[in-house]
Amino acid sequence: MTLPGSPHLAYRGPQLFVEGRSLNGLASEFGTPLYVYSKAAMLDALAAYQRALSGRDHLVCYAVKANSNLAVLQVFAQAGCGFDIVSSGELHRVLAAGGKPEKVVFSGIGKTRAEMRHALEVGVLCFNVESESELEVLSGVATELGRVARVSLRVNPDVDAGTHPYISTGLKGNKFGIAHERAVATYRRAAGLSGLEVVGIDCHIGSQITDTTPYLDALDRVLDLVEAVEAQGVPIHHLDLGGGLGITYTDEVPPSAEVLVRQLLARIDGRGHGHRKVVFEPGRSLVGNAGVLVTEVLYLKPGEQKNFCIVDAAMNDLARPAMYEAYMGIVPCARRDMPATRLDVVGPVCESGDWLGRDRDLAVVPGDHVAVLSAGAYGMSMASNYNSRGRAAEVLVSGEQAWLVREREDASALFKGEHLIT
C-alpha cells in the first residue's frame, strides 16, 4: 500500500518502508525522534520541473529555508540546481555542500552589509532586492568592494495566494517586496546607481499554494511591469517566478509542478516574452513529501474528554502544527491487528500547544513507532532546543542504503558556547 504524497513511502505487509528501508529498522538503528528523507522522492519532484523547462533557458533554485541539511543540498547541487538563500548562513551551507555561487539568488528583506559583502565576494548570481533603501545600501557596499551587484527587484503584485496568512507574501499588507505602483520608479533608480546592474524581476506570492490562478494573475502583473520598465530604457533579462507550490498533506490536490510550469510558460510565450530566462525557487514541493518524522509512543493516557498518545517528538522538533495548526498525517510504522483508538498525538514539552496531531485513529501501544508524514519541509529547519531538548537526528535513504546526515544533539551540544560567570 502506497501512502498519499510519495510512491517511495509504502507498507510492505505490516511494515512501513521509505524506499528499501523499514522505518522501524531505522528507528532501532538511529533512535528517535528521527527525520528520514528519500533521495528518490526529491529527485522525482525535481524532475517534474526539469521536464517542463526542457529546451528553455532556465534555472531551478532550491529554496534552502525549506530544508537546509547539507546532504539534501548536496543532492540538489549534484542534480544541477541553483539555490535560493535568505541568509549568509545559508550561503555557507550551499558552498559547503558543493553548490555553485553563480547559481545562487540571494532573497530576503533584511540583508546586512556583512551578508552583502560575503555574497559579492563569492560571486552570487544576483540579489533579489526588496526595498528602495536596500538598493542604496547594496550599491554602496558593492562600490566599496569595487564590484557590481547584479539585482532583480522583488515586486509585490498584491495577489491573494489563498493560503495561510503567515505564509502569504504577495499582498499589500505583507512585509515583502516593492509595491507594484513603485516598481517602475524603483527600477529607474536602480539603473542609475553605479554599484548595481539590473538583470531581472522577481515575484513570490506565498507558500503551500494549491491553485494555478494566483500564479497566472501575478505573472500577468509582472509582465505588465517588464514592459513598462523596458519602455523606460531598463532591460530585464530574466523572470524569477518564485516558488510556493503546495503539496498534499491531507486532501489538497495541488497541480503538478509540470502542469503549473507549462501553464506559466504558455502565458509568457503568449505575451511575447519567450526569449527571457526563467527562474523558479521551489522548496516545499521538492522536499515536503520526501521526508517523515519517526517518533516513539511513550505512553497512552485516557481522559474524560480526550485520549492522548504521548510520543518522544515535540513542538521543538516539528513546529508546523503548533505554529500554523497544520494538519500532518500520522501513521503507525508497523500496523497492528487491533481496534484503533481516537487519540491526540502530543509531545513532552510543557506547553498545551505541543501537539503533532489531533483526533487521530491509531492502533498503537507504548514502544511502537509512528511516522508524521510530509515532514521534509519546514520540519528540521524550524527545529529548536526549547525545554533544553536536543534536536533530532536526520537520515537520508537511497534504495537500501541509509546515511546518518545529522547526528542527534547530546547534552554538551545544548550549552556549547555558553559560559558561567566568574
Residues serving a catalytic function are 350
Dihedral pair phi/psi, residue 359, rounded to 5°? 55, 55
Q: Residue 208 to residues 159, 343, 416: CA-CA distances in angstroms?
A: 15, 27, 36
Beta-strand ranges (E) seen in 168-229 are 178-179, 196-202
Q: Are 271 and 222 in contact (CB under 8 A)?
A: no
Nearest CA to 200 out of 59, 93, 312 is that of 59
- Give 308's Cβ-side CA count (13 Å radius): 16
3-state secondary structure of 140: helix
Residue 82: beta bridge partners? 61
Q: Are 323 and 166 in contact (CB under 8 A)?
A: yes
What distance separates the 2 farthest-apart alpha carbons in the chain?
Answer: 72
3-state secondary structure of 337: coil
The alpha carbons of the chain give a radius of gyration, in whole angstroms, of: 23
Dihedral sign, Cα of residue 340, residue 298, residue 30, residue 415 = positive
Q: Which DSSP state fits 232?
A: T
C-alpha grid cell for residue 79?
542534480
From the CB of residue 79, how many other CB atoms can be counted at a distance below 10 Å? Answer: 15
CA distance 345 to 417: 34
Q: Which residues have a Cβ under 8 Å from the Cβ of 24 and sit 6 or more positions away?
A: 15, 16, 333, 334, 369
Strands 104-106 and 149-156: unpaired
3-state secondary structure of 152: strand
Dihedral pair phi/psi, residue 421, rounded to 5°? -80, 155
CA distance 263 to 422: 64
For the sheet with 15-18, list strands across it.
9-12, 15-18, 21-22
